[in-house]
Amino acid sequence: MKELLSGVVVRTGGASYIVECDDGLQVRCRTVSGTVSDNEGESLVAVGDRVKFRPKASGTEMPEGVIDHVARRTSALVRRRDIRRNRSKELEQVIAGNIDQLVVVSSADDPPLNRRLIDRYLAFAESEHLPLLLVVNKSDLADPVRLEEALVTYRALGCTICCVSAARRTGLEELRAHLEGKVSAFSGHSGVGKSTLINLLLGRKELKTARISSRTGKGVHTTSSATMLRLPDGGYVIDTPGIREFNLSGITRENLRFYFTEFLRFMPDCGFSSCSHTVEPGCGVVRALESGEIDPERYESYLVLYESLDE
């Protein structure tokens, strides 16, 4: 019996998975009925998973193997399955696993900075105890004063922010320093330059880049599944699908308030311990909003998310 080897899943496609070993060797693997996973109720294998596999004889150019074991994930980006169409016990499909940090890519202009989207990702990162890096691309297109005014709230929340311009190649060294030695999942709305930035970080054109639709003015999606790529200076980036594929798994109306961290110091002043900060009288969070201690746009994001979640 051949010895088990270890590696990380860097790409999925159909019934096969590309596993990269520590020495950089890539092996095309498949699962079998005996494949064991430590992640019950989730996808059997996802990009970013640490796996053990058994090599097998192959007549193809790329080595092949069979995945024996999938280790427990420390974190995951997921999309929720439609229960009406899903006949298996797998309620969530994992987009990417074992992430060290979530990198949210937005743009300063064309399309404009999307604060609702940023707030959505911030809530998810808080719920998963994931560090979040906010990358603002196309910073050369925006008025510096107005851009800083838009970002001041996120700086006050303790967000790490990196302003870059893929077009002018500025801010990339700072971004590389934030990524070195980590597994970073890149996500964001289409058209903000996510894939372009990753290509620049890799030093080669690995990913297709999006364009802005002349009809709608919105980004055109190019990423349909996650791809994990090794950085020249160490670490990995995972290019993930756009926000349409992303959901706030595990966040409910009941617990959302805990993931808007600026609310926390005002919550003891609420008249009700289970205050939702929406309609209750004597709400400490609403009083803080009215006195200017909470950013009105952040509060609006909270209301939008609250209404979108299951009770």
Determine whether domain 5-73 maps to CATH 3.40.190.10.
no
SS3 label, residue 68: strand
Answer yes or no: same fold for 95-245 and 256-308.
Answer: no
- Tell me whether strands 36-37 and 16-20 are parallel, antiparallel or unpaired: unpaired
- State pLDDT tens for residues 54-71: 998 877 788 999 999 999
| CATH of span 95-245 | 3.40.50.300
pLDDT over 70 (residue 274): yes
Structure tokens at 235: 């670490």
Which pLDDT belongs to residue 128? Answer: 87
CB 69 within 8 A of CB 83: no
Write down the H helix ranges in 75-208.
115-127, 144-156, 172-179, 194-202
Among residues 32, 30, 45, the alpha carbon closest in space to that of 94 is found at 45
Q: Check: CATH 1.10.40.50 for 256-308? A: yes
Count of CB atoms within 10 A of residue 37's CB? 19
- Of 226 and 92, the one with more pLDDT: 226
Contact between residue 127 and residue 250 where contact means Cβ atoms under 8 Å apart:
yes
All structural domains of the chain with their residue ranges: 5-73, 95-245, 256-308
pLDDT, tens only, 121-178: 999 899 989 999 999 999 999 999 999 999 999 999 999 999 999 999 999 999 999 9
pLDDT in tens, 239-271: 987 555 566 778 999 999 999 999 999 999 999
Report residue 238 as tokens. Answer: 């995972």
Judge whether residue 286 has pLDDT over 90: yes
- The pLDDT mean for the chain works out to 88
Tell me which of 39-43, 113-117, 213-217 is least confident.
213-217
Q: What HEC string does 59-110 produce?
A: CCCCCEEEEEEECCCCCEEEEECCCCCCCCCCCEEEEEECCCEEEEEEECCC
The tens digit of pLDDT for each residue in 5-35 reads 999 999 998 789 999 998 989 999 999 999 9
